[in-house]
Amino acid sequence: MTQISLYNTKTRRKEAFTPLNPDDVRMYVCGPTVYDRAHLGNARPVVVFDVLFRLLRHVYGADHVTYVRNFTDVDDKINARAAATGRPIRDITDETIGWYHDDMDALGTLRPTAEPRATEFIPQMVAMIETLIAQGNAYEAEGHVLFAVESYAKYGALSGRSIDDMIAGARVEVAPYKRNPMDFVLWKPSPDDLPGWDSPWGRGRPGWHIECSAMAFELLGATFDIHGGGIDLQFPHHENEIAQSCCAHPEGGFAQVWLHNEMLQVEGKKMSKSLGNFFTVRDLLDQGVPGEVIRFVMLSTHYRKPMDWTEKKREEAEATLRHWRKLVDGVVPGSPDQEVVETLADDLNTAGALARLHGLAKSVASNPQDAREEEKRVFLASAQFLGILTEELAGWEAVRYVENGGLKVGTAENVAAAIDGYVEQRRLAKLAKNFAEADRIRAALDAAGIILKDGPHGTEWEFGMSVSLSKLEALK
C-alpha cells in the first residue's frame, strides 16, 4: 500500500499519514461563504483537496473516504447582499451554491461526500454551545454567548501564538461584555429583520466558527483524520474550531492532521478589487480559458507555496494540454504510473507529478510504435489520476481561442463544419481543375494552422499546435 505523508500544520512537520480507521478515512475542509461567485483564490483549496481526496480514494478505496465541505449560508455578508438587492436570503444562497457547483465542476473537482449547509445544523450548534456554557468554557453576556479563551489552555497552539501576542497583534473587536479581548462569539442576538433562530439566549444566530465544529462532530465524529483550508483560516478560525471542539468533546482530539494551502496571487500581486486584478473562476471560463487549463496551472505549484496566476502559465498550460490530448487521442487508460502516485503521496507534490508526466510524454514519443501503446495507457491513467485529460474536461481543445476582431466561434461543431466546408470547396476546385483556387484554400487553411492530409479516401484535417481561426476570414 502506498504510504501517504502530509505536512501537519499542528506539529509543523511532515508525518507518515495513518488513518484512525482505514475503512473510514475522514476529511473536513472549510467551504465558501455563499453570497457571490467564487474567485480564483477560492478555487485553490478546492483543487488541492480534490487531489488529496482522489489520492485517499486510490489508497484506501473509493468507498472508504468521507469528505465533508460546508457551505456557510448564514453570514453578515449574505445579509448585506439581501438588504442591497431586496432578494430573499435563501434565493441568494441557493443561486450561489448552484454557481459554485458549476464553476468547481468545470475545474474537474469531485463533489465531496457531504456538503452541509450551516443553517441545517443550528440545533447541533445550540447543543454544543450549551455544553460549553455548562462546562465553564463559554458565558452569556448581553444576549451574546462568548467562548472564554482562557478556559482552554492550548488556545493558540495551532498557530503558535500566546493569547497575549494575539491581543497585541490582532485588531480585535473590543466589546465591553468580553472578559478577554480574544473571546469570540458563539451566538449573537438577531433583530427581527435578520435571520434568527430561537435559543436559550433568545432569538439569534451563530457566530461563524461554531458551524464547522458542530458539522464536523455531527458528520465525522469527535475525532477524524484531516482538516483543511486556506492558510488565512489558521487563525483565528481554525484555532477557534479546535477550542470549541476539544472543550465540548474532550474524548476526541478533533482533527489529527491539519493541512493549509497557501494563497493565490495574480502576476505577483495580491488579488484585490482595488488593484483591478480580481476575477472569478467564471470570468476566466467566460473568456474561453478552459477549466482544465486552470486546474493544470493550479497543480503546477505545490500547495504550501504561494501560487502566482500568470498569463504566461496559462498559455504554457494550454499548449501542454493540447499536445497531451493529441498524444492520447483514442487511447484507453491503463493503471497509473507508480512514480506519479508516490510523488503525490509525498505531501501532494503535484508539481513533481506533472514533471513526471512530462517525462512520460517524451518517452512515449521516442519509443517504437508497439511499446508506445502501453506507455500511452499508463500516461493517460496517470494524468487522469491528477484529474486532467479526463473525458469530462475534454472538448475545448477542438476550439481555438479567437483573436480580437476575428471570426467569432460558438461551438466546436460549427468550427468543424466551417472547416469541412472549405475542404469540400477545395475538392470541388480540384475536380474542376481550378488548381489556383484549390491552392488558395489550402494556403489559407495552412496559415490558420489547420493541417490537411490527402489520402486515398479523401482529405482529413486536424488542428495544428497553433491555430488562429481569424486567418480563415481570407476565404470568405
List residues near ligand AMP by CB under 6 A. Answer: 30, 32-33, 41-42, 44-45, 229-230, 232-233, 261, 263-264, 271
Residue 384 contact, options ligand AMP, Zn ion, none, Cβ 5-8 Å cut-off depending on partner type: none
Residue with the three cell numbers 465525522: 220
Contact 206, 123 (CB under 8 A): no
Choose between 73 and 337: whose C-beta lies nearer to ligand AMP: 73
> Collapsing DSSP states into helix, strand and coil, what is residue 14?
strand
Choose between 4 and 231: whose C-beta lies nearer to ligand AMP: 231
Q: Which stretch binds Zn ion (CB under 5 A): 120-128, 146-154, 204-212, 368-376?
A: 204-212
Choose between 233 and 242: whose C-beta lies nearer to ligand AMP: 233
Would you give the binding string for Zn ion spanning residues 6-45, x where CB under 5 A is met?
------------------------x---------------
For residue 33, what is the DSSP state? B
* Dihedral of alpha carbons 174, 180, 184, 186, sign: negative
Cβ 237 to Zn ion shortest distance, Å: 5
Cβ 233 to Zn ion shortest distance, Å: 6
Residue 212 contact, options Zn ion, ligand AMP, none, Cβ 5-8 Å cut-off depending on partner type: Zn ion
- Residues 6 or more apart from 238 whose CB is under 8 A from it? 30, 158, 159, 227, 229, 258
Put residue 8 in one of left, alpha, beta given phi > 0 → left and psi -120 to 50 → alpha: beta
Within 13 Å of residue 187, how many CA atoms lie on the same side as its CB?
A: 29
Residue 92 contact, options Zn ion, ligand AMP, none, Cβ 5-8 Å cut-off depending on partner type: none
Contact 40, 266 (CB under 8 A): yes
Cβ 162 to ligand AMP shortest distance, Å: 24
Cβ 254 to Zn ion shortest distance, Å: 11
Contact 262, 298 (CB under 8 A): no
Q: Which residue, among 202, 180, 212, 187, has the nearest Cα to 129 in the 3D structure?
A: 187
Residue 263 contact, options Zn ion, ligand AMP, none, Cβ 5-8 Å cut-off depending on partner type: ligand AMP
SS3 content of the chain, % helix, strand, coil (to 5): 50, 15, 35
Would you give the binding string for Zn ion spanning residues 208-247, x where CB under 5 A is met?
----x-----------------------------------
Choose between 258 and 379: whose C-beta lies nearer to Zn ion: 258
Query: Where does residue 287 rank: exposed (0-12), middle (13-18), buried (19+ CB within 10 A)?
Result: exposed
Choose between 32 and 336: whose C-beta lies nearer to ligand AMP: 32
Would you give the binding string for Zn ion spanning residues 344-383, x where CB under 5 A is met?
----------------------------------------
Show the beta-strand stretches assigned E in 319-358: none
Residue 387 contact, options ligand AMP, Zn ion, none, Cβ 5-8 Å cut-off depending on partner type: none
Contact 148, 140 (CB under 8 A): no
By CB under 5 A, name the binding residues for Zn ion.
30, 212
